[in-house]
Amino acid sequence: MWAGLGFLRLCALLPYPLLLLLGNGLGLLMYALVPSRRRVARINLRLCFPELDQAARERLVRATFRSAGISVFENGLSWWGSKRRLQRLYRIEGLEHYQAANAQGRGVILLGGHYTTLEISGRFLAFHVDGLQPIYKRAHNPLYEAVMVRMRRQLFDDLLQSTDLRTIVRNVKAGKTVWYAPDQDFGRERSVFAPFFGVPTATLTTTARLARLTGAPVLPFASERLPGTQGYRIVLRPALEGFPSGDDLKDATQANTALEHEVRAIPAQYLWIHRRFKTRPEGEPDLYRRQP
């Protein structure tokens, strides 16, 4: 892990086109060497894009791995790249929606997703949002966790653990902006089964709960890696209307719909290698279980 992090630190000095080339190569290597994740991506894409034929879905699987490979080098660039260099790499749209929400004085909740551009998009967003505080889940590797936390704390106002709801609520009420990506499978606890690409999906109710406890507006946030060496596009959408409604299923569906809208525009840049549909409603089979 030390060697890998050191390599990333050095790679952050390389020209951006070379980082993309290295990331593409790493992604194709991951595609070849990690069949378990390749299988997960195939299942996810078959469920979410049934209208595509097998050849088209397989091209999308490869593109997903290439995008994931690029994200590894983007992480290093986001942590160690200079402000001057990074500010030349992106454009931001919809900042007026954030400014209008922030002017209400109740804090802001940015509703993100697990795009492969997640890490570097946070660095871009921090150039425009004072008091930005990402909510994160602890990494399994303690060394990577330590380095990640150290670097993120240097870039953001604070870093909040997903399990520390009390601190999250307190900081939002203090006028901070929290950035939250709840689109992972955390089991049945605090979840409802809301549709995501037409699939009943275990979806956390925490987003609506945060909005209810704080009164903060919830703004969908997306990021896109543009073709070639054009860099990135960061998009802030208007605040969700009528959210929260008090109906957990309705609210989770609204949040999933907002995310699905963004993912459909850039499907290769979403983290399909995650077992998003692992938890199933009672009586439904495990979608990832190998058939005998």
Please report which residue ranges of the chain form alpha helices under DSSP H. 2-11, 16-33, 35-48, 54-80, 83-86, 95-102, 118-126, 142-155, 165-173, 206-214, 248-265
pTM for this predicted structure:
0.94
> From CA 287, how far away is CA 25, in angstroms rounded?
30
pLDDT at 290: 83
Across-strand partners of 135? 160
pLDDT at 138: 87
Percentage of residues in the chain having pLDDT higher than 70: 99
Quote the tokens at residue 17.
Answer: 């086109």
pLDDT in tens, 37-63: 999 999 999 999 999 999 999 999 999
For 49, half-sphere exposure in the C-beta direction (CA atoms, 13 angstrom radius) is 22
> From CA 75, how far away is CA 116, in angstroms rounded?
10
User: Taking CA 136 as the corner, what is the angle to CA 263 and CA 26, rounded to the nearest 5 degrees?
Assistant: 60
pLDDT in tens, 72-117: 999 999 999 999 999 999 999 999 999 999 999 999 999 999 999 9
Contact assessment for residue 194 and residue 258, using Cβ atoms and an 8 Å cutoff: no
Quote the tokens at residue 23.
Answer: 């990331």
Mapping DSSP to helix (H, G, I), strand (E, B) and coil, where does residue 280 land? coil
pLDDT at 189: 87
pLDDT higher than threshold 90 for residue 139: no
